[in-house]
Structure 1
Amino acid sequence: MDGIKYAVVTDKSLRLVFKNQYTFNVESGSTRTEIKSWVELLFGVKVIAMNSHRLPGKRTGKRRRMGHTMHYRRMIITLQPGYSIPSLRNLLF
């Protein structure tokens, strides 16, 4: 279950928690079905929808040694009504 890196805590992700949607950064190589099964297994919930987008890496370095960080993928996961992830709710509020 190395595909899920961590939960995202931003203003938008906090608003989405009230709509029963949770935001995670995941490995860019993992598939939607893998992530859905990991979330259902790890938290014991039912997933009904998943949205994802790829965020670009940031530029790093100075002068001649320019580089960039790796890009990553962010998933917004919608749970069935009646399900929630209480450990994340307690952390966020």
Structure 2
Amino acid sequence: MRSPHDVLIRPLVTEKAVNLAQEQNKYTFYVDKRANKIEIKKAVEDLFKVKVLSVNTINVKGKKKRVGRYEGRTPERKKAIVTLRPGDKIDIFEGLLS
């Protein structure tokens, strides 16, 4: 079994993600590409001591980027949108919710 710190890479803090957290109690994280929904749910519940109702995952393809004549791609990632029980909150986002 993997550690919760290996499953969750970092929270995604964008305007859209903060609005989701504020209005619908949904929090967004970048997660390990090999992690499944059960591992993500357990990791969030263990790290933040909250109850997770559902987990939605999205595989994000890397975009093509160019610098001069050199082409490359940004890394591919996996995002997870975690819905929490009403009343539960994650403190990472508290300073951003205004």
Same fold (TM over 0.5): yes
Is the counterpart of residue 78 in structure 1 residue 97 in structure 2?
Answer: no
Question: SS at 2:82's partner residue?
Answer: strand
Separation (CA, whole Å) in 2 of partners of 1:2 and 1:58: 25
Aligned to 1:13: 17
Secondary structure in structure 2 of the residue aligned to 1:2: helix
Please give the root-mean-square deviation of Cα atoms over the aligned residues, in Å: 1.5
Contact 2:41 2:52 in 1 (8 A): yes
Is the 2:64–2:74 contact (alpha carbons within 8 Å) kept by the matching residues of 1?
yes
* Equivalent-residue separation in structure 2 for 1:29 and 1:68 (angstroms): 20
Gaps of 5+ in 2: none
* Residue 83 of structure 1: how far off its partner (Å): 0.7
Give SS of 2:94's match: helix
User: Which portions of structure 1, spanning 4 or more consecutive aligned residues, are displaced by more than 2 angstroms?
Assistant: 58-63, 65-70
Q: Distance in 2 between matches of 1:87 and 1:15?
A: 14
Q: Following TM superposition, by how much is the alpha carbon of 1:59 offset from its aligned partner in structure 2, in angstroms?
A: 2.4
Pairing 1:32–2:37 present: yes
State TM-score, norm by structure 1. 0.85
**What's the counterpart of residue 55 of structure 2?**
50
Identity of aligned residues (%): 36
